Chain A
Amino acid sequence: MRRGARIALIIAQRAFDSVTRSRALLALATGYTFAILGFAWASRGGGYLALSMNLLTPLEVLVPLVAVAVGYRSILDDRLRGELDVLGSYPLAGRTYVLGTFLGRAAALLVVVVVPLVIAMGTVLLFRIERISVLATHATADSPIVYLRMVVLTAAFALVALAIAIGISALSASSRGGLAVAVVTALALVIGLDLGVVAGLAADVVPADVLDVLLAASPLSAYRGLVFELAVGSVAPRAVSGGIDPVAACGSLTLWAVGSLSIAADTVFR
């Protein structure tokens, strides 16, 4: 087991190096950072709650895109360069290889995703409205806790999206095919699954009263629901809170991650 972990770390280092060497990642990180800080700047003057709500939708769109971009070539590149065949000749379990790749890419992805969010937190402090000095103030329900919770949930969501991207990467065989699948995956994640639920509702296949559980099936909705339920909803008015079963949502996200990585582990050396 310890040997497996060591090998996984070696693989992870390899994956991390290959992604951090890429200029494309730098460009992606810069674009994402600009977007996040731009949205944060536009909502300056408000509190953490306002910032969390303003960032939620941009994150829903941007995080899957960044995750897919970071992950979709991971296994595919090894396959195209023939390195997968070489690795396959070592006594290396598919599981270890996929886990290592996931960890390496995840390290890069999380730095890209989380660091701008932490910087964005600074805008709340930096652009705080000057208080009227003669009046007493109190802490209100607004609190950095809300924002921190959202950051943690966003990191978890990024990992799930990355796992899906790696799963896709293991299944694709050519560069062009890989790109196409990546695009489709991103679209499915951002729009497709939720649209599926909507279609289900329209066709009466999905009864509305199980929506709070079923919605969790879509990772995006699970993430959004969790942010509402656990972060924003804990202090915001009822109008924006809840709507999802947190257990179902966590289960669904775990299932998507473990499932995708398992498929990758199963298929990578075939």
Chain B
Amino acid sequence: MRVNVVLAGLAVVLASASLAFAVSPADTATAQPVAFSDTLTTGMTGVDIRQADVGGYEIPRAEVFYSQYQYIVGYYGIEAALGALDRDATTQQFGHPLAIYVTDFADAGVDLTDDGLLTVTSDPEVDWVEAGEAFFVVDSAARTPGGPAIVPFDDRASAARFADRYGGTVRRWDELDARETGSTGERVRTQVEQRGAWADRAVKKREDLLDRPVSATVGENVSTLAAAVRTAEENSTIRLPPGTYHANLTSEKSVTIRGAGDRTRLVGDGTGTVLTLRGERTALSNLSIAGVGTNNTGEPSNASVANGSWDETVRTVYGYGDAAVVLDGAKRSLLSDVTIETPASGAIVRESDGTVIRDAEVDGTDTWQDGFMGVLAMNSRIVIQNSTFTGGRDAVYTHDADGLVVRNNRMRGMRFGVHEMFTSRTVVANNTVAGTNIGIVVMTRPKSNAVVGNRVSDSGVGISMSGSSSAVLGNVVTGNRYGMDLGSQRSTYEHNLVYGNDVGLRTGTIVPTNEVTDNDIIENDRYVTTGRGPVRVWSGNYWGAIPGRDRDGDGTIERSFRPTGIVDSAVSRSAGAATLARSPAVVMLRQFETAVPGLRAADVIDDRPRAESAQSGLSPSNATVGDGGVSP
């Protein structure tokens, strides 16, 4: 071959490749706003968004194009974008923002409802404007269903007009500050304490209901329970001596119905609900209930319940099935030491804040498809504790029950143990769940939920999270197919013991923003499986014996660990993998693996794996977590 031909060819190739020095790589990245529905959306809760959607309210939004992430991240609420851009973890994971667009309300005829919710007269005129060129009205009367709103405009005049009408000041993008402070974990810890203290107070106060004077004793001064309910004075106790009582009745009074233990049996006729309690501060204690109807769903007799709200279907269909007890508007009531046998629901709690259900025993159907919920909490901030649930569909199902506390319960053999829908700021603590499809499952994009110190075993998935700003702390998940599903965003997973599952952890969202640290992920067949999305960088978990050493004795193994990597994932199965991991070829490959995670294929990397367990004194056989606390 002619050398001059080869040289000329090479010269041409290299010269044209050298043109790469003439163009800047950043110039080739174009970022034009796209339809918001085409972005990966985040920010605000599912409830807020559904409410805005159904009500026709506008939510100011932002689109961020990150330099190292091919998908465009869409934020509901300018605050959400500000918060994300403020976090170091965001830039580490996705790179710096190449472009930021915000909704422009300038020509849309923006207006506020009496509640301060944003509306527009001309929807198509809600356009996009680059954040750097926009004018933002802050601290005005405008709000979204989720809270105060920052409203962007593309010119100063429109912004000033809006501020004149609705208050607030006009700011530029670089003058806005992210309000979110402190880590998610810290905030949720505080919340766990506060919710725990609230629950303690609620439980204590509801005890008073058991001390009311006896005004009627069925079988002595009154012949039937129905008559007793009819004649009893408010704030008194109806006593039910041992025996079988036919029920299927409704009480509108604030009374305490108290049996003598399991030998006091309330029996329905096998259709409908056994007891419907509508009075505030009603108590039902120390008895057993059977003979519940078999309809899992129903419809309200009162048409006013169907008011066209965003969750009408769920409320009217799920909330009106047959149950042993229905609490409807019965705020601050108590169900204690009640044993329920039901082919449908155990207790349905509607609009009854402050109600406590404790020491109950709910026995549902053998196959979950036949039954319904142990406790169905709807629009009710309640406490469910020290109770036992067996069979049925879900032990505890919540709908829009923000702030509810579920603690120290035992659940076995159902579809889901705790099933949260459209419910934020809950505390699910110290429950023991076994033999379910999913032990504890949070759905529909809520925020600030705490799952603390629970123990889930022998289930399809131990704990499955969604939503944001939540914390999963100090749980023990063992012997499940999947230990935990990490479907949440900006949430903290800390001090959990993930032991002996088929797969330890499963990543969910393709926007990886969770903090996964100080967990023990040991003795699982596979450490982690990933769905779609880029590399997730976690820190400081204990993976059992892995390649690498802790040379300086700081408790961290110097070599990063890739639980999903070809070589590292084999470590749990073969000692040979650890030897292979030391090969220079593998070492070379791993050098820059934590760099530009957003541009790499789905993977998980722990950049500071622990040399020893993170749960001191916590072993799978004797896991103990303090009552309502967040230890260890």
Q: Give A contacts to B, CB under 8 Å.
A: 9, 12-13, 15-17, 20, 38-39, 42-47, 49-50, 53-54, 56-58, 61, 103-104, 106-108, 110-111, 114, 129, 131-132, 134-146, 148-149, 151-152, 155, 230, 234-237, 239-240
Contacts and interface: CB of A to CB of B under 8 A. Distances in A.
Given A110-B10, A140-B70, A234-B24, A43 B589 contact: yes
Given A107-B7, A136-B39, A240-B592, A143 B29 contact: yes
B98 interface: yes
Contact of B599 (A44, A137, A140, A151): A140
A58 B38 CA distance: 39
17 contacts: A13-B4, A20-B1, A46-B596, A49-B596, A50-B596, A107-B3, A129-B601, A131-B70, A136-B39, A138-B29, A138-B70, A138-B72, A140-B69, A142-B68, A145-B24, A148-B20, A152-B14
B596 A237 contact: yes
A57 B592 CA distance: 10
B35 interface: yes
Contacts of B98: 138, 140-141
Nearest to A20: B1
Given A45-B602, A56-B592, 17 more contacts: A9-B4, A13-B2, A17-B3, A42-B566, A49-B599, A50-B596, A50-B600, A53-B592, A53-B596, A135-B72, A138-B29, A139-B70, A144-B20, A152-B17, A155-B14, A235-B25, A240-B592
Contacts of A107: 3, 6-7, 10
B17 A151 contact: yes
Contacts of B566: 42
Contacts of A44: 601
Leading 6 A-B pairs by shortest Cβ distance:
A45-B601, A141-B67, A148-B20, A136-B38, A53-B592, A136-B34
B303 interface: no
B3 A135 contact: no
A20 B566 CA distance: 37
B588 to A, nearest CB: 5
A237 B1 contact: no
Interface in B96-111: 96, 98
Contacts of A58: 588
Contacts of B91: 237
Nearest to B600: A46
Contact of B30 (A53, A139, A144): A139
Contact of A46 (B92, B532, B599): B599
A149 B2 CA distance: 28
Contacts of A148: 17, 20
B71 interface: yes
Contacts of A114: 10, 13-14
Interface string B34-60: 110011100000000000000000000
B30 A13 contact: no
B574 to A, nearest CB: 19
B588 A145 contact: no
B622 interface: no
Given A12-B3, A136-B72, A234-B24, A142 B39 contact: no
A12 B96 CA distance: 49
A103 B20 contact: no
B33 to A, nearest CB: 9
B70 A234 contact: no
B590 to A, nearest CB: 9
Given A16-B3, A107-B3, A140-B68, A47 B29 contact: no
A13 B23 CA distance: 35
B21 A152 contact: yes
Contacts of A134: 38
B139 to A, nearest CB: 33
Given A136-B71, A151-B17, A145 B600 contact: no
A104 B91 CA distance: 48
A17 B601 CA distance: 43
Contacts of A234: 24-26
Q: Which of A61, A104, A234, A235 has the most CB of B within 10 A?
A: A235
Contact of B71 (A54, A56, A135, A237): A135
Contacts of A56: 591-592
Interface of B: 1-4, 6-7, 10, 13-14, 17-18, 20-21, 23-26, 28-31, 34-35, 38-40, 65-72, 91-92, 95-96, 98, 510, 532, 566, 585, 588-589, 591-592, 595-596, 598-602
Contacts of B601: 44-46, 129
A138 B92 contact: no
A16 B20 contact: no
B209 to A, nearest CB: 53
Contacts of B25: 141, 143, 145-146, 234-235
Contacts of A136: 34-35, 38-39, 71-72
A42 B589 contact: yes
A132 B26 contact: no
B23 A145 contact: yes
A19 B18 CA distance: 27
Contacts of B68: 49, 140-142
Contacts of B96: 237
Contacts of A43: 589, 600
B363 to A, nearest CB: 44
B588 A57 contact: yes
Contacts of A142: 68, 70, 596, 599
Contacts of B3: 9, 12-13, 15-17, 103-104, 107
A235 B67 contact: yes
Contacts of B28: 139, 143, 145
Given A49-B596, A50-B600, A132-B532, A140 B29 contact: yes
A49 B28 CA distance: 14
A114 B31 CA distance: 33
Nearest to A43: B589
Contact of A16 (B1, B39, B510): B1
A97 B60 CA distance: 72
A197 to B, nearest CB: 19
Contact of B7 (A103, A141, A235): A103
Contacts of B510: 132
Contacts of A103: 3, 7
A38 B602 CA distance: 19
Contacts of A16: 1, 3, 6
Nearest to B71: A135
Contacts of A152: 14, 17-18, 20-21
Contacts of A145: 20, 23-25, 28
A58 to B, nearest CB: 5
A52 to B, nearest CB: 9
A135 B73 CA distance: 10
B95 A237 contact: yes
A162 B92 CA distance: 39
A43 B40 CA distance: 25
A74 to B, nearest CB: 14
A108 B92 CA distance: 42
A63 to B, nearest CB: 14
Contacts of B21: 149, 152, 230
Contacts of A132: 71, 510, 532
A240 B68 CA distance: 14
A149 B14 CA distance: 10
A139 B98 CA distance: 10
Contacts of A50: 592, 595-596, 599-600
B88 to A, nearest CB: 11
A140 B67 contact: yes
A104 B70 CA distance: 44
Contacts of B29: 138-141, 143
